[in-house]
Amino acid sequence: MSETVKINSISKLHDFFGYPDKPTHPLITLIDFSKIDLNTIKSGTRKIFNFYSIALKKVKGAGVIYGRKDYDFSEASLLCMAPEQLSIVTDIEKDAFMEGWGLYFHPELIRSNPLNNKMKDYTFFSYNTNEALHLSGKEKNTLHSVLQTIQEEFSDKLDFYSHDLIVSNIEVLLNYCNRYYGRQFITRSHHSKGIVSQFEKVLFNYFESNQAKMNGLPSVKYCAEQLHLSPNYLGDLLKQETGKNAIDHIHYYLIEKAKNLLLNSSDSISEIAYDLGFEQRQSFSKLFKKKTGMSPKAYINSM
């Protein structure tokens, strides 16, 4: 297995890329990918960057792996990654090249800022590579304008206001990414409806094959894996398309299944709870009452 290179500082990031420009700030940088010679990077090198990254890139003549999945960057697309995620550049050809830009910032840059607590809400940092964002020309120009502002702030002489302006403009950039992902969900509505249908089929198959009885309730992670999606992307897609997140869908299907069993089965409530994946009747009754307003026994008596 090739060595794993872990990059923890902006200066080391520049060194790794063989980047000709020196860093102007210790915690943030904007990389012009066209200045990187891919042939200086050893093919198969496993790299882990301790940064948040927002990158619009196009790669020719080289393979790219993020996590465990190959990704085709032959068409420019935006990919956001959180710190500590693995990536590999493979099969680098002699005339390989990369273009685009990458904004990298260390978690310490936002540690004391309210943005630090909001980062979990930017769920696209945990999307799979096949869920990258494809931008229109106008959207690219908008992001580029924000990037220029950020770069000007960390490249010029820093003053009392610099840090807040850098971080606030990063938040603007992230909010635009949120908007554009929302647009992508809408413009791919036909595709999204297909995924909703497939998701419902996954739930149907799970409960009908008695997997719930053997393995417990289906998790969002399990359902996403069956659809070859990341859990966050599946949840965001379902929320955009149906107004309910993935766990809401699972609970809805579960409760509908439970209602049918409570009214049409001779099994006890405890047996039904066990068949649906609950270890204890109390947990089933609590969820059922939360979703329907009545206990399983009261539901049976009301019919």
Token pair 């289906």: residue? 218
Tell whether the model's pLDDT for residue 287 goes beyond 80.
yes
Tens digit of pLDDT for each residue in 15-64? 988 999 999 999 999 999 899 887 777 777 778 889 999 999 876 655 55
Rounded distance, CA 279 to CA 216, Å? 8
| Mean pLDDT value of segment 232-254 | 85
For residue 302, the cross-strand partners are: none
Tell whether the model's pLDDT for residue 94 goes beyond 90.
no
Mean pLDDT of the chain: 84
| Mean pLDDT value of segment 61-82 | 61
- The Cβ of residue 6 has, within 10 Å, a number of other Cβ atoms equal to 12
Rounded distance, CA 181 to CA 173, Å? 12
Give me the amino acid identity at 117: N
Tell whether the model's pLDDT for residue 202 goes beyond 80.
yes
- In order of 9, 260, 272, 300, the CA distances from 265 in angstroms are 62, 8, 9, 11
Rounded distance, CA 102 to CA 25, Å? 15
- The Cβ of residue 185 has, within 10 Å, a number of other Cβ atoms equal to 18
Tens digit of pLDDT for each residue in 229-239? 888 888 888 88
